[in-house]
Chains A and B, each alone.
Chain A
């Protein structure tokens, strides 16, 4: 990029304990998504380091980070990010297949039942409602039994009632699986359900 360099995140030091649920809140453009991208190993920091379970993400190349994500990290996105070519079941099976696991169908079906979609396993994303798509995304995220789950505005594309159902489901699953949860949102109500809240303001961290 031409022009002056932008510093998006400034002097953030942050530790998240295993099993903890943390909300990152802040206005649009405050750097929430950038921080999430760095924490989840989707992006590389120009300075500083991110360490998960003793692994320094900055020391890995993109392919190693991809393997690391596959084994330790789950995602739920605002825009669901399901592969439209695959059925609900296949979407849930995908990360397991990528890990090279066997009998993935059983596991995938288990999580689809858990999110209440056992009747719709062979539907394509376009045939599902927004809430149903996000439930498939939840099943996909938990199916690979990640240590940490990153959720980026998980209710941003949903109406209030559906959003609440999804959040209930998310926290239920989180409890059952004992996953660490990092949630990015600008919704204060949602943030309040987390054990800890971090506020980002102009790229800097403000403790709540």
Chain B
């Protein structure tokens, strides 16, 4: 029997529908496993990347020296280790010039993750460092060169020791995003600390032990360490990475999962259509073998084993395709990824295989299973209608399977629902509209020319089948439009967020007396900057009259903490009000506006009272509004904003951000010399990195779009094929009766194009709904209607379906009608 099954498969390959079935399966498995493997590996890479911001996998920090036996314990676990010590200290030159600096002493192994960068001259070309400064050497922040009037090779003094300036310190992986250290950075060797004599008991210092190694070893060590920690000693975990990249990648991941889910639906539909046609074409075969004594279980075994064989082949091919797809994605990324992505493991391919099995079982098997019930009487009477009663049951099973697969795959109910809502609208509206419009078509067609009459009569005759076909075309087109829309708005938004002139430097600690002069200087140099925001440092003390804990042990959550705030009469650029109202300009009420996540962390809502300590003055304010910020915008952003009058009496400094071209970096040297107290923070390297990664992600998304387009194309092909037999047969009769080629092809073109037109219209309506839900609920973007979608969706539907239809039926005019009639 198995011989017969393989033979049948080989022969049926020529029928075309098995090709569609296998290709649909291969694509589904390929896209699903490829995307899944890609996101898994990307997540791995990002997790490693986030370790970079600790310069290690695990960090212990304390204000007092940390026990040395912890290092021994870590060594026992095979962990790499490094030490750092940070403290503020004066740096002198020739005893007369000095500046307060934030000194960081690092051991040779530092950093364990990520890398330090330096340059040979202040603000010069950035180089990556294998290790920090050697004994007796220091690296100075670029600004310090101007402040201390030194050059590379000069000597500076810290405490009782002298050091040679070896380079300009540029970045450290764990320098943190806080701008408010003790001053410009000086990096020195850990072994030189005793010689300086500046670190005494009671000095304000921060000791760190850094550990890195394999994940299990880190976990074991961390577990051992936990109970050893005394008050004031803290183990640092990986905090969120750079928000700009994180956010972009989150959305990219949503997009990829959406694409994967759509691939599953499209593939499911293509598989179902192909299997249905396969089953229709096999009714006669089954009738013959049943007349020869085959029972329905024999028939089911025969087709079941064929299907299983096909499924296995398709799954293997699909996994190979998926492996290729994720490989291709990573080859796009390879240069930009800071760390090598780890292996994806077997799970993505298991997901692909499950997808394939589900498609087979829920989409392909139901129509094939009905073959078992085919009547053997067809051997005598070919005109016997086929068994079709359980079709509705098949649709329900299919819908359920698609929903579960989509959910399992995206782990996101909202995303699943958005797609389902679009699908439901397509199906529901589709049948009503298609039946109504197709009926209306005949009234018009009655008086039209003969091509039109032929076409519209064809549409009318197969009303129900055509309605189904319209719905299927509409589903495929809808999903492609959804993906196209989401992709376009995603990429547009990214580009808009980080335009090529996005701010890439911050300026803080600007004294009020310097604001005007700096504004003038920037204008004179043709440098565009954001507005200057006042900045006041204070401490949040109480919430709703309840004192917050003052402990430093909790990093997150409710506790007293130092915080920067600003004042403004207007809602800052790029901020969005989520709750409450913005105050009247000039108000003297004690109000405050909070950033969304800050409010959440503190458990604050509009109307609550909050107590602050600014300098030594207490300040009580009521929450007036809650805002959403664009952290990745590279503009000054504040957790808290007060009305100007409330803070007018407190001392403030100002901050701004501005864009500086790479060729213009020398400006910073002049600037720092003129305004030595202002701190300039260079973000250009980070901004460039974010932009590059976003470009790569965009490329990956476009690639996915192409793959899904192929899947959508397959559905269209399968959908057209479904009706080709009947149409070719009719056309052959017309041809035999002497109808010219032009009439037949013209009729077919009009018939299919009309179906495509209806499908395109439905798809556009449903796509707008889906995209609305997706953008507002899943991607958290602003929804904008897309007028261009309507002509594009509707016309491309008519054009593509019309062309595919004529192409699929072309043999009716290229082969003698008698051949066609005999074959069918």
- Nearest CB of chain A from residue B309's CB, rounded to whole Å: 15
- Nearest CB of chain A from residue B110's CB, rounded to whole Å: 71
B10 contacts the other chain (Cβ, under 8 Å)?
yes
Q: Is the beta-carbon distance between B4 and A42 smaller than 8 angstroms?
A: no
With both beta carbons as reference points, the residue of chain B lying nearest to A141 in the complex is identified as B292
**Across the interface, which residues of B come within 8 angstroms of A67, CB to CB?**
293, 295
Q: Which of A87-102 contact B (CB under 8 A)?
A: 90, 94-95, 97-99
- Nearest CB of chain B from residue A101's CB, rounded to whole Å: 11
B297 contacts the other chain (Cβ, under 8 Å)?
yes
**Across the interface, which residues of A come within 8 angstroms of B379, CB to CB?**
42, 75, 77, 81
- Nearest CB of chain B from residue A165's CB, rounded to whole Å: 23
In Å, the complex CA distance between A100 and B375 comes to 22
Contact of A97 among B4, B285, B375 (CB under 8 A): B4
Residue-wise, chain B 1-21 has the 8 Å CB interface mask toward A (1 for contact) of: 101100110111000000000
Question: Which size bracket describes the interface of B in this complex?
Answer: 20 to 34
A156 contacts the other chain (Cβ, under 8 Å)?
no
Residue-wise, chain B 30-65 has the 8 Å CB interface mask toward A (1 for contact) of: 000000000000000000000000000000000000
A86 contacts the other chain (Cβ, under 8 Å)?
yes
In Å, the complex CA distance between A82 and B291 comes to 12
**Across the interface, which residues of A come within 8 angstroms of B290, CB to CB?**
66
A62 contacts the other chain (Cβ, under 8 Å)?
yes
In Å, the complex CA distance between A63 and B376 comes to 11
Contact of A36 among B289, B296, B380 (CB under 8 A): B380
In Å, the complex CA distance between A140 and B1 comes to 17
Q: Is the beta-carbon distance between A95 and B380 smaller than 8 angstroms?
A: no
**Across the interface, which residues of B come within 8 angstroms of A95, CB to CB?**
292-293
Interface size on A, residues (CB 8 A): 30
Q: Is the beta-carbon distance between A66 and B294 smaller than 8 angstroms?
A: yes
Given A67-B293, A98-B293, residue A83 in contact with residue B288 (CB < 8 A): yes
- Nearest CB of chain A from residue B284's CB, rounded to whole Å: 8
With both beta carbons as reference points, the residue of chain B lying nearest to A153 in the complex is identified as B380
Which has the most chain A C-beta neighbours within 10 Å: B375, B380, B381? B380
Q: Which of B598-620 contact A (CB under 8 A)?
A: none
A202 contacts the other chain (Cβ, under 8 Å)?
no
**Across the interface, which residues of B come within 8 angstroms of A163, CB to CB?**
none
Q: Is the beta-carbon distance between B297 and A70 smaller than 8 angstroms?
A: no
Given A37-B377, A42-B377, A66-B376, residue A81 in contact with residue B293 (CB < 8 A): no
Contact of B1 among A75, A97, A152 (CB under 8 A): A97
Given A42-B379, A77-B380, residue A69 in contact with residue B292 (CB < 8 A): yes
**Across the interface, which residues of A come within 8 angstroms of B436, CB to CB?**
none
Q: Which of B278-323 contact A (CB under 8 A)?
A: 285, 288-298
Given A63-B295, A85-B8, A85-B12, residue A94 in contact with residue B289 (CB < 8 A): yes
Given A36-B380, A152-B380, residue A71 in contact with residue B7 (CB < 8 A): no
- Nearest CB of chain B from residue A104's CB, rounded to whole Å: 11
Q: Is the beta-carbon distance between A98 and B381 smaller than 8 angstroms?
A: no
With both beta carbons as reference points, the residue of chain A lying nearest to B1 in the complex is identified as A97
A107 contacts the other chain (Cβ, under 8 Å)?
no
A43 contacts the other chain (Cβ, under 8 Å)?
yes
With both beta carbons as reference points, the residue of chain A lying nearest to B299 in the complex is identified as A66
Q: Is the beta-carbon distance between A63 and B296 smaller than 8 angstroms?
A: yes
- Nearest CB of chain B from residue A1's CB, rounded to whole Å: 9
In Å, the complex CA distance between A71 and B292 comes to 9
Residue-wise, chain B 368-390 has the 8 Å CB interface mask toward A (1 for contact) of: 00000001110111000000000
In Å, the complex CA distance between A43 and B12 comes to 28
- Nearest CB of chain A from residue B626's CB, rounded to whole Å: 66
In Å, the complex CA distance between A187 and B10 comes to 39
In Å, the complex CA distance between A67 and B288 comes to 14
Q: Is the beta-carbon distance between A70 and B292 smaller than 8 angstroms?
A: yes
Which has the most chain A C-beta neighbours within 10 Å: B295, B298, B375, B381? B295
**Across the interface, which residues of A come within 8 angstroms of B285, CB to CB?**
83, 85
**Across the interface, which residues of A come within 8 angstroms of B380, CB to CB?**
33, 36-37, 42, 77, 152
With both beta carbons as reference points, the residue of chain B lying nearest to A72 in the complex is identified as B293
**Across the interface, which residues of A come within 8 angstroms of B381, CB to CB?**
33, 37
Q: Is the beta-carbon distance between B7 and A42 smaller than 8 angstroms?
A: no
A19 contacts the other chain (Cβ, under 8 Å)?
no
Residue-wise, chain A 24-49 has the 8 Å CB interface mask toward B (1 for contact) of: 00000000010011001011000000
Residue-wise, chain A 143-181 has the 8 Å CB interface mask toward B (1 for contact) of: 010000000100000000000000000000000000000
Q: Is the beta-carbon distance between B294 and A86 smaller than 8 angstroms?
A: no
Q: Which of B255-298 contact A (CB under 8 A)?
A: 285, 288-298
- Nearest CB of chain B from residue A61's CB, rounded to whole Å: 10
Contact of A70 among B10, B294, B377 (CB under 8 A): B294
In Å, the complex CA distance between A207 and B614 comes to 118
In Å, the complex CA distance between A99 and B294 comes to 8
Q: Is the beta-carbon distance between A75 and B294 smaller than 8 angstroms?
A: no
With both beta carbons as reference points, the residue of chain B lying nearest to A140 in the complex is identified as B292
Q: Is the beta-carbon distance between B10 and A42 smaller than 8 angstroms?
A: no
Q: Is the beta-carbon distance between B295 and A84 smaller than 8 angstroms?
A: no
In Å, the complex CA distance between A40 and B292 comes to 11
In Å, the complex CA distance between A90 and B289 comes to 12
In Å, the complex CA distance between A81 and B1 comes to 19
- Nearest CB of chain B from residue A36's CB, rounded to whole Å: 7
In Å, the complex CA distance between A62 and B298 comes to 13
In Å, the complex CA distance between A116 and B624 comes to 100
With both beta carbons as reference points, the residue of chain B lying nearest to A74 in the complex is identified as B292
- Nearest CB of chain B from residue A37's CB, rounded to whole Å: 5
Q: Is the beta-carbon distance between B8 and A66 smaller than 8 angstroms?
A: no
Given A37-B380, A152-B380, residue A86 in contact with residue B295 (CB < 8 A): no
Contact of A42 among B3, B12, B289, B291 (CB under 8 A): B291
Given A69-B291, A83-B285, residue A62 in contact with residue B8 (CB < 8 A): no
Q: Is the beta-carbon distance between B377 and A63 smaller than 8 angstroms?
A: no
**Across the interface, which residues of A come within 8 angstroms of B292, CB to CB?**
69-70, 75, 94-95, 98, 140, 144
Q: Is the beta-carbon distance between B288 and A98 smaller than 8 angstroms?
A: no
In Å, the complex CA distance between A42 and B377 comes to 5
With both beta carbons as reference points, the residue of chain B lying nearest to A99 in the complex is identified as B293
In Å, the complex CA distance between A71 and B290 comes to 12
- Nearest CB of chain B from residue A89's CB, rounded to whole Å: 12
Which has the most chain B C-beta neighbours within 10 Å: A36, A70, A82, A95? A70
Q: Which of B373-421 contact A (CB under 8 A)?
A: 375-377, 379-381
With both beta carbons as reference points, the residue of chain B lying nearest to A95 in the complex is identified as B292
In Å, the complex CA distance between A63 and B373 comes to 10
- Nearest CB of chain B from residue A18's CB, rounded to whole Å: 20
In Å, the complex CA distance between A189 and B115 comes to 100
With both beta carbons as reference points, the residue of chain A lying nearest to B292 in the complex is identified as A95
Residue-wise, chain B 619-658 has the 8 Å CB interface mask toward A (1 for contact) of: 0000000000000000000000000000000000000000
Q: Is the beta-carbon distance between B11 and A42 smaller than 8 angstroms?
A: no
**Across the interface, which residues of B come within 8 angstroms of A82, CB to CB?**
288
Contact of B10 among A75, A85, A97 (CB under 8 A): A85
**Across the interface, which residues of B come within 8 angstroms of A97, CB to CB?**
1, 4
In Å, the complex CA distance between A77 and B378 comes to 11
**Across the interface, which residues of B come within 8 angstroms of A99, CB to CB?**
293
- Nearest CB of chain B from residue A67's CB, rounded to whole Å: 6
In Å, the complex CA distance between A42 and B380 comes to 9
Going nearest first, the 9 A-B pairs with the smallest beta carbon separation are A70-B293, A85-B11, A63-B295, A95-B292, A66-B295, A42-B377, A98-B293, A42-B376, A81-B288
- Which residues from chain B sit less than 8 Å from chain A, CB to CB? 1, 3-4, 7-8, 10-12, 285, 288-298, 375-377, 379-381
* Sample (18) of A-B pairs whose CB atoms are under 8 Å apart: A33-B380, A42-B291, A42-B379, A42-B380, A43-B377, A62-B376, A63-B295, A66-B294, A66-B296, A67-B293, A67-B295, A69-B291, A83-B8, A86-B4, A94-B292, A95-B292, A98-B289, A98-B294
Known contacts A66-B290, A94-B4, A98-B294, then 6 further A-B pairs from the complex at CB < 8 Å, ordered by chain A residue? A43-B375, A82-B288, A90-B4, A97-B4, A98-B298, A152-B380
